[in-house]
Chains A and B, each alone.
Chain A
Amino acid sequence: MADDVLVEVRDLDMAFKINGQRGQPAMLHVLHKLNFDIGRGETLGLVGESGSGKSTAGRILVGLFEPTGGSVKLFGRAITGSQRRANLAAVRARLQFVFQDPHAALNPRMRVGDSIAEPIDIAGTMSRRDRNERVKELLEMVGLPRDSAERFPHEFSGGQRQRIVIARALALAPGFIVCDEPVSALDVSMQAQIINLLMDLQARFGLSYLFIAHDLAVVRAATHRVAVMYAGSIVEVAPKDALYDNPQHPYTQALLDAVPRPNPARVRPPVIGGEVPSLLVPPPGCRFHTRCPHAMPRCRVDIPVLRETEPGRQTACHLYDSDTSSRAQRGIS
């Protein structure tokens, strides 16, 4: 995978300036030292609850936010630091974004064909005839009739609209697409269609995806590797099967336990209490220690870093520190 790393994220930090108590300006640290790579043709899932920072990370990767620390390299070019503008301009055509709500992502007064062709028009590289031909080709790729171009978004269902949004994302033949909750606004029977479409397109064009979602089952169906986020940090990254069959971080374990299964005979393990902490006053040490069933004294002091626990997987948890006597506890968790 070493030569084929398309996205390289190192120590990514993000803070927003907000109005804190009594109007005092305050910094809201939404991302804390993220590290991950995405390979060519790979889908990395980014999963977490609301406020975990997953959407912010996605927006940084397509250049919508400038991070406050760390580095991001796309296609080998740094889009952080002094070369940001030039490098972002060079890679922009190869980056695309698919949003959650296909109703809001399409201009209701624009014909579908014009929405799909908008990236082409902005790039200004195609004749009128080629452009219209390309639109029809794109509609076919996403499984819509070729004559849909003349119609308006309201004539399509939610699932079909998401297909239109995907066609638009494909218009300039990108290499990397950030999909932010692409199926969470859709019904179950439509979700499966869109996930299958994204996977078919990946196989056909060698696309890489960052697939952001809160639904763990959807992430399992749509990705190769998964990063789990909690309160602005990545707590665990692992190949999909390893993560779901043998979750290491206590938060990943709690999250998986909490998902209701379509199996009435299942006895659900005890639910973890508490709620996600405020990012304005994050707890010291590990941000999960306030809810963690395995919290130790050092979890309240030291922030755990993401480190390799097995080849190809990393976990940020003191239970897996080689220098602590807590290794025995791994058996329990």
Chain B
Amino acid sequence: MTAAPLVSIEDLTVQFRTDRGWTTAIEGVSFDVAEGDCVGVVGESGSGKSVTALSMLRLHARGTSRFARGAVRYAGQDLLRAPERNLRKIRGRDIAMVFQDPMSSLNPVLSICDQISETLCLHQGMTRAAARQRAIELLDLVRIPDAARRVDEYPHRLSGGMRQRVMIAIAIACRPRLLIADEPTTALDVTIQAQILELLRDLRTELGMAVMLISHDLGVIAEFARRVIVMYAGRIVEDAPVDVLFNAPRHPYTEGLMASMPALEGGTERLYAIPGRIPDPDEPIAGCRFGPRCAHVQPICQAAAPDLLAIDATHRVRCTPRTRSLGTS
């Protein structure tokens, strides 16, 4: 934590154009990713976890989205404002991304070899022959059996798990310093999910890259991440090391999320259900956006929107009652 972070996100606020004007999808998102770090981002639909990831590489459609505030700092540049030409050098080379659905992320009419070579030829100026050789090595690295034969196949010939391995091979082709994986195992069966998570974990150590894993699944996050960021309704509500977050969560939403998760061990009494529903981004809510669903809501929660405050060196919480004692302790 003492060294300069690899990527630093500051007060990121992203808005999208809708029929009713500009809607704020995420607001005031700030966190750092250190070199070699392993950050998990967890949240339900609409929490803003994917918007955050896409913003880091400025992948939103221009014209219908805008960065109202904030910065994404990487290697001395603000990626939100850097010229497109600079970003193109960073995307896929320094910072790479793996998406949820390997089916729609691969081009069905190009062979696996073509799709891996593309990034190698573009960023590293490799010849086609060299790129093909490297593609085979990469398929080996992501543990696809019989790589020399598979490299010439087309995506439809591969299973979902194999396709996701190809996506990972493309993402790591240029040895990125940060790999952003957005729900990389959500479309996969549980035994295949376990294989892919193991692969990502091994690659992280082998290549020494930082990984930012986005998931709605607390189990996946607990197994993979070292540090966890919990998002709710477009804001970070809690940020803590993984063991702290799972053993001693401080935000009522994090607590509720864990209590409502069905478990494989322990008693099978009735599930705790967080009442109400996730608010729409435009819904006017006074003060804390979790207030209407919170079991511990107090008048002070409606008075003002809570700030994300550090309760110790590694733990931040956005909850007025739970951070109030900070001044005295």
Contacts and interface: CB of A to CB of B under 8 A. Distances in A.
A218 B270 contact: no
A261 B223 contact: yes
B321 interface: no
A301 B219 CA distance: 38
B261 A268 contact: no
B207 interface: no
B189 A276 contact: yes
Contacts of A157: 277-278
B192 A275 contact: yes
B264 A195 contact: no
Contact of A271 (B44, B198, B222, B258): B198
B210 interface: no
A221 B262 contact: yes
B195 interface: yes
Interface string B303-324: 0000000000000000000000
Contacts of A113: none
The A interface, classified by DSSP as helix, strand, loop or mixed, is: helix
A259 B261 contact: no
B220 A192 contact: no
Interface string B271-312: 111100110000000000000000000000000000000000
B305 to A, nearest CB: 21
B227 to A, nearest CB: 11
Contacts of A259: 190, 219, 264
Interface in B41-66: 44-45
A260 B260 contact: no
Given A258-B193, A260-B217, A191 B277 contact: no
Residue of A49, A258, A259, A264 ringed by the most chain B CB atoms within 10 A: A264
B103 interface: no
Given A196-B273, A262-B222, A273 B195 contact: yes
Contacts of A215: 262
B122 interface: no
Residue of B191, B194, B198, B263 ringed by the most chain A CB atoms within 10 A = B191
A261 B217 CA distance: 9
B218 interface: yes
A160 B277 contact: yes
B264 A261 contact: yes
Given A220-B262, A221-B271, A187 B278 contact: yes
B277 A49 contact: no
Contacts of A305: none
A136 interface: no
A221 B190 contact: no
A212 to B, nearest CB: 15
Contacts of B92: none
B278 A217 contact: no
A261 B222 contact: yes
Given A196-B270, A264-B242, A189 B44 contact: yes
B246 interface: yes
Contact of B262 (A193, A214, A217, A265): A217
A266 interface: yes
Interface in B173-196: 189-195
Nearest to B245: A264
Contacts of A264: 222-223, 242-243, 246
Nearest to B191: A258
A271 B278 contact: no
Contacts of A279: none
A220 B264 contact: yes
A49 B189 contact: yes
B82 interface: no
A275 B219 CA distance: 22
A263 interface: yes
B222 A263 contact: yes
Interface string A145-165: 000000000000111100000
Interface string B238-275: 00001100100000000011101111110010111110
Contacts of B271: 192, 195-196, 221
B197 interface: yes
Contacts of A240: 268
Contacts of B260: 188-189, 191-192
Contacts of A254: 191
Nearest to B243: A264
B198 A195 contact: no
A50 interface: yes
B155 interface: no
Contacts of A158: 45
A257 B191 CA distance: 9
B102 interface: no
Given A189-B274, A260-B197, 18 more contacts: A187-B216, A188-B44, A188-B260, A191-B262, A192-B272, A192-B274, A193-B273, A196-B270, A196-B273, A214-B189, A217-B261, A218-B262, A258-B190, A259-B264, A266-B222, A268-B194, A271-B195, A275-B159
Across the A-B interface, the 10 shortest Cβ-Cβ residue pairs: A260-B219, A221-B262, A49-B189, A192-B273, A187-B44, A258-B194, A217-B262, A192-B271, A192-B260, A189-B274
19 contacts: A49-B192, A160-B277, A188-B218, A188-B261, A189-B260, A192-B272, A193-B273, A214-B190, A218-B262, A220-B263, A254-B191, A257-B194, A259-B219, A259-B264, A260-B193, A260-B219, A262-B261, A263-B246, A272-B191
